[in-house]
Amino acid sequence: MNHFFRLVYFLKYAKKETAIRILLGLGIVGAQFSQTWFLAKMVIAVCEKRNMKEILLFFLAEFLSLFIRAGLIKYQEYFLKKYAAKVKNEIRSQILDKIMVLGPSFKNDQRTGNLQSLITDGVESLEAFLTQYIPQIAVVIFTTIFVTTFMCRLDRTVGLLLFFMSAVTVIVPHVFMPAVSDVMVLYWKEYAQLNAQYIDDMQGMSTLKSLGVSKKEGKRLKDQAIGFAAESMRNLGISLSDSTLITICITAGTSISILLSAIHVAQGKIPYAVLIQVLFLAGECLKPMNDLSIYWHNSYTGLSVAEELLYVLDYPVPEKTKENLQTTGIGEKPEIVLRNLSFQYEKDGADVLKNVDMVFESGKVTAIAGKSGSGKSTIVNLLLGFYETEKNRIQIDGKALESFESDYLRSQISVVFQDSFLFYGTVRDNIRMARPEASDAEIIQAAMAANVHEFIVNLPNGYDTLVGERGATLSGGERQRIAIARAILKNAPILILDEATSSVDCKNEQEIQNALKEAMKDRTTLVIAHRMTTIEDADRIYVMQNGLVEGCGTHEELLQKDQIYQNLVRAQSYE
Ligand code: ADP
């Protein structure tokens, strides 16, 4: 029930539109009611053999009501689209903002497909509940007050009966709610799982094919889809049971009203003309309740999404992003110190970093070497503030990392990841992303420094060439050099190269090395490298193993004294 009200709260962002939707709903009900009422009046006039002019007048009034109703319905259709888009946009931007605030540590814990289903289909399914069901409740309340008063004037018992039936049709769905919501939550989970699986399989298609397991995976997907279909049928059964009950109430309400009026006519309590009016109007009076039931039915999926949606929106924000934090204090070539730093990804999990002490000296290049899984990337994640650590374990220019505002901290760090992500858009936009206010000349300058300008100008549309999803149209090395151009353009005092050349062939590697040298100038640089050649020139190299710092020195020093390092060099590749 709490979820129910929390969802309704989103209408706060479209108060005016909600009011218009209610007024439109009332207008349509009013037009429909008067259309039927004039029809009843016309029939009574015919039965009473009144003059033709009066009959024609009722006919024209009925016709006019019909036109007004048709016009209002048409406008409502158009209006609903605008109204729904506004509400859904608001919800989507709130979820996206929250995911951005929570950052990669939250995203890594969820399946990407699940979050994607929530933002797209999940929010879409809230439309019926928020823009139809909720406003319709207001329409039903106003209609019930009017109908009860109007019908009581005709026949008191019928008026009260219709009031009772209206109340029942509004209350019934909420009695069923606990049972329905359990089934629907399960339904949505199955749906999100299936969606996530499809996305996984699409992204990993080449891997599946190369492993020769695409058929097996296809079968698994099919079984999952069948399971989902069974779940859909189960939820349909439950949801239909309450709408059947509502339909029975509405039909019974109409029939009993007519029966009561007929008895009252027979008893001489009311004239037969009232019976005709009840005959025509009783069904009309309960129509908004019928619409309410349909909207309720359409709202089920939306309600089932509520739990997941609110889970994301209520997810506690790390303390760091809440307080008034520093937005200055990092110098041009900052010194970074890790002091006795230990870290686990999961609460009570194993230590991924164990009492790590490191110093990344001002304006120098520091490298971290170590086998895969030794904790190198974890240090990068912590420097970027993606995860919380014990206080004051990481210091930048003498100040605790957590004392800086996240946006400021990240603006001071350029990172080139091993698999740099290029977004769908032009090459120019992809480079500019690092500094939106950068001029075209600055972008070209950064591309030149990254050794990628020549390559870009030879693309079909030069800097305006579109690069596909994940930069699919470019090779690993080309993407990497564009990412380096991005890092150079950002011009941040700290540069992190996280295995920046590991996915690149040797020819490209040399070009990238040259580009990187340019990027490292006058900055404090941290290099995490897969290939020894990329760290030979580093001012200091830390050797890591199983989360521990096992050695430290220059390339030559380590070659002399450090066995782990010697092994790494011998193996050339750590894996
Ligand atoms: P490296 O960069 O040296 O290859 P990582 O820092 O990526 O090593 O990983 C160190 C350890 O932390 C590994 O055992 C890895 O499985 C674990 N790890 C990395 N990322 C996560 C994560 N998001 N959640 C849980 N464990 C993780």
Q: What is the pLDDT of residues 7-45, one digit of tens each?
A: 899 999 999 999 999 999 999 999 999 999 999 999 999
Q: Which of 325, 483, 338 shows the shortest CA–CA distance to 396?
A: 338
* Per-residue b or e along 238-248, where b marks 16 or more CB atoms closer than 10 Å to that residue's CB: bbeebbebbee
Concatenating the DSSP letter of every residue in 513-559 gives HHHHHHHHTTSEEEEE-SSGGGTTT-SEEEEEETTEEEEEE-HHHHH
Does 336-573 carry CATH code 3.40.50.300?
Answer: yes
Share of the chain above pLDDT 70, in %: 93
Secondary structure element (H or E) that encloses residue 98, with its range:
helix 52-109
Q: Whose CA is nearest to atom 25 of ligand 1?
A: 345
Does residue 127 have a pLDDT over 60? yes
Instruction: Give, in degrees to the nearest 5, the angle at Cα 433 between 430 and 434.
Output: 120
Q: Is the beta carbon of 372 within 6 A of some atom in ligand 1? A: yes
Q: Is the beta carbon of 32 within 6 A of some atom in ligand 1? A: no
* Confidence (pLDDT) at 574: 42
Can you tell me which atom of ligand 1 is nearest the CA of 105? 23
Can you tell me which atom of ligand 1 is nearest the CA of 371? 3
User: How far, in Å, from the CA of 353 to the mean position of ligand 1?
Assistant: 10
Over residues 520-533, mean pLDDT = 81
User: How far, in Å, from the CA of 382 to the mean position of ligand 1?
Assistant: 12
For the chain, which residues make up each domain, given as ranges? 2-8+17-314, 336-573
- And the tokens for 486? 């991005």
**Count of Cβ atoms closer than 10 Å to residue 44 Cβ:** 20
Share of the chain above pLDDT 90, in %: 43
More confident residue, 173 or 374: 374
User: How far, in Å, from the CA of 370 to the mean position of ligand 1?
Assistant: 13
* Confidence (pLDDT) at 169: 81
Q: Which of 390, 405, 378 shows the shortest CA–CA distance to 496?
A: 378
Condensed to tens digits (0 to 9), the pLDDT of residues 558-574 reads: 989 989 888 888 876 44
- And the tokens for 178? 């606990």
Q: Whose CA is nearest to atom 22 of ligand 1?
A: 345
Q: What whole-number distance in Å separates Cα of residue 244 and Cα of residue 293?
A: 9
Of 102, 112, 352, best ligand 1 pocket probe by most atoms within 8 Å of the beta carbon: 352
Over residues 296-318, mean pLDDT = 84
Q: Is the beta carbon of 110 within 6 A of some atom in ligand 1? A: no
* Confidence (pLDDT) at 575: 43
Range scoring the smallest mean pLDDT among 283-292, 299-308, 486-495 = 299-308
Range scoring the smallest mean pLDDT among 440-454, 505-519, 536-550 = 505-519
93, 99, 102, 108: CA torsion to nearest 10: -170
Sort strands 425-426 and 394-396 into parallel, antiparallel or unpaired. Answer: unpaired
Total number of residues shown for the chain: 575
Q: Which of 418, 422, 413, 426 shows the shortest CA–CA distance to 487?
A: 413
Instruction: Give, in degrees to the nearest 5, the angle at Cα 496 between 386 and 573.
Output: 105
Can you tell me which atom of ligand 1 is nearest the CA of 374? 3
User: How far, in Å, from the CA of 543 to the mean position of ligand 1?
Assistant: 16
User: How far, in Å, from the CA of 471 to the mean position of ligand 1?
Assistant: 25
Q: Whose CA is nearest to atom 21 of ligand 1?
A: 345
Q: Is the beta carbon of 375 within 6 A of some atom in ligand 1? A: yes
**3.30.413.10, 3.40.720.10, 1.20.1560.10, 3.40.30.10: CATH of 2-8+17-314:** 1.20.1560.10
Range scoring the smallest mean pLDDT among 53-57, 107-111, 449-453 = 107-111
Condensed to tens digits (0 to 9), the pLDDT of residues 230-257 reads: 878 877 777 777 778 888 888 888 899 9
Condensed to tens digits (0 to 9), the pLDDT of residues 346-400 reads: 888 889 999 999 999 999 999 999 888 899 989 998 999 888 888 889 999 999 9
- Average pLDDT, whole number, for the chain? 86
Over residues 141-167, mean pLDDT = 90
Amino acid at position 352, single letter: V
Q: Is the beta carbon of 103 within 6 A of some atom in ligand 1? A: no
Over residues 95-101, mean pLDDT = 87
Q: Which of 512, 519, 490, 515 shows the shortest CA–CA distance to 432?
A: 490
* Confidence (pLDDT) at 321: 52
Q: Which of 533, 529, 551, 555 shows the shortest CA–CA distance to 542?
A: 551
Condensed to tens digits (0 to 9), the pLDDT of residues 401-411 reads: 989 988 899 89
Over residues 284-297, mean pLDDT = 85
* Confidence (pLDDT) at 306: 85
Condensed to tens digits (0 to 9), the pLDDT of residues 177-236 reads: 777 777 777 787 888 888 888 888 887 777 777 777 778 888 888 888 888 888 788 777
Q: Whose CA is nearest to atom 24 of ligand 1?
A: 345
User: How far, in Å, from the CA of 393 to the mean position of ligand 1?
Assistant: 19
3-state secondary structure at position 357: strand
* Confidence (pLDDT) at 510: 72
- And the tokens for 235? 């939820």
In sequence order, the β-bridge partners of residue 544 are: 370, 549
Condensed to tens digits (0 to 9), the pLDDT of residues 413-425 reads: 998 887 778 888 8
* Per-residue b or e along 329-368, where b marks 16 or more CB atoms closer than 10 Å to that residue's CB: ebeebbbbbbeebebeeeeeeeebbbebebbbeebbbbbb
Question: In which band, very low, low, confident or very high, does the pLDDT at 130 lie, cut at 50, 70 and 90?
Answer: very high
More confident residue, 517 or 289: 289
User: How far, in Å, from the CA of 372 to the mean position of ligand 1?
Assistant: 9
Q: Is the beta carbon of 373 within 6 A of some atom in ligand 1? A: yes
431 Cβ contact partners less than 8 Å away, ≥ 6 residues apart: 443, 446, 447, 482, 485, 486, 489
User: How far, in Å, from the CA of 346 to the mean position of ligand 1?
Assistant: 11
Question: In which band, very low, low, confident or very high, does the pLDDT at 69 lie, cut at 50, 70 and 90?
Answer: very high
Cβ contact 316:388 at 8 Å: no
Can you tell me which atom of ligand 1 is nearest the CA of 377? 2
User: How far, in Å, from the CA of 352 to the mean position of ligand 1?
Assistant: 7
Q: Is the beta carbon of 108 within 6 A of some atom in ligand 1? A: yes
